[in-house]
Amino acid sequence: MLMYASLFLAGLSVFLVMSLMFIEEDEYKAQEKLETGAGSDKDSLAKHGIILKYSRPFFRRYVTPIVASFKNKKKIRERYKRSLATAGLTDVLTPEDFFSFKLFLIVGFPILFLVIRTFLEETWSLNLIFVASIVGYIYPDLWIKGKVQERQKEVMRNMPFAVDMLALSVEAGLDFIAAMAKVNEKAKPSSLTSEFSILMKEIKIGASRAEALRNMAWRIDLIPISSFCATLIAADSVGASIGPILKALSTEIRQKRSSDVEKAGATAATKILFPMLFLIVPAVFLIVGAPLALEAMGGAK
């Protein structure tokens, strides 16, 4: 009787565990379908890198629920929320997902290292596994930093044209929201037009213009954009016409962009100095000095 009872209880426990697993799997698949409908499918993930594309299903399925149960998840959310917003990744990753990405790569990179080592039949030291783990933890921070810088540069490239279009549209009689809609219609799709779309949506759902502009400045995290938003908020608070203000802002942004280009050109000579010293100059000395050295050695004989 005890044996039959133990077998029955063991079978019941296996049944319950498998049932819970299938229920969680169905919930996870339903959630993935909802997110795919929102635009976070594999095609959209491909532009963010092959590592995120193939690792996201695993860490979202198995690591993110663990991170979401942490007591300090609020600190994790506050630490990575703005970086994800500035990089334009809020539709792709949550702060909990990003931290799970870091934890997953601590194990993922060493496994990838061992697979490559076995496939190439190399004799690389196994001590490099610890290095791979450290690189796996640091890589997401470097990756998102590059995404932030790339997006900020794209915003600044498109800002002068957008501000000019805003000024022309406002002076033509359109209000601020209609002018932004006109900019999104005429301009090429970019990170700036995406931010304008978010701003218009926030205003349509009830946010004030000042609040929506502050949110846009917080997301982009650039001093020229913060100045642009602060100027529009100040003009809106006193009821001033924003047409002349937008023209002045456009001129200021173009001058700032020109000064940045001149600064980059001035520092190019300094940046190329070190490659010249360590790569080009030794080669020149080798080409010039080798015949002289050979001639001197021949004369000595």
* pLDDT at 39 (0 to 100): 44
Same domain, 180 and 209: yes
Q: The domain containing residue 67 runs over which residues?
A: 39-148
Q: Residue 44's pLDDT is what?
A: 64
For residues 169 and 238, membership in a common domain is answered with yes
CATH number for the domain spanning 238: value is 1.20.81.30
**Which residue's entry shows tokens 């290292």?**
113
Domain count, the chain: 2
Say yes or no: 62 and 136 in one domain.
Answer: yes
Cβ(95)–Cβ(79) under 8 Å? Answer: yes
204-261 pLDDT per residue, tens: 888 888 999 999 999 999 888 888 888 888 887 877 777 788 888 878 777 777 777 7
Q: At residue 139, does pLDDT exceed 70?
A: yes
Residues 6+ apart with CB under 8 A from 63: 100, 103, 104
* Integer Cα distance of 116 and 95 in angstroms: 30
Name the domain boundary from 132, 148, 164. 148
164 and 239 inside one domain: yes
Shared domain check, 115 and 190: no
Burial label, 223 (beta-carbon count in 10 A; 0-12, 13-18, 19+): exposed
Q: What is the pLDDT of residues 156-178, one digit of tens each?
A: 888 888 888 888 888 888 888 88
In a domain, 282, yes or no: no
Q: Mind listing the pLDDT tens digit for each residue in 38-63? A: 445 555 666 777 888 888 888 888 88
For residues 40 and 92, the answer to whether their CB atoms sit within 8 Å is yes
Same domain for 157 and 122, yes or no, is: no
Domain for residue 275, yes or no? no
Residue with the larger pLDDT of the pair 226 and 21: 226
65 and 82 co-located in one domain = yes
Question: What average pLDDT does the chain have?
Answer: 80
- What is residue 92's predicted lDDT score, i.e. its pLDDT? 87
Helices (H), the chain: 2-37, 42-46, 50-62, 64-68, 73-86, 95-120, 128-171, 176-186, 191-204, 209-220, 223-238, 242-275, 281-300
Cβ-contact 216, 225 below 8 angstroms: yes
pLDDT tens-digit map of 73-111: 889 899 999 999 999 888 888 999 999 999 999 988 888
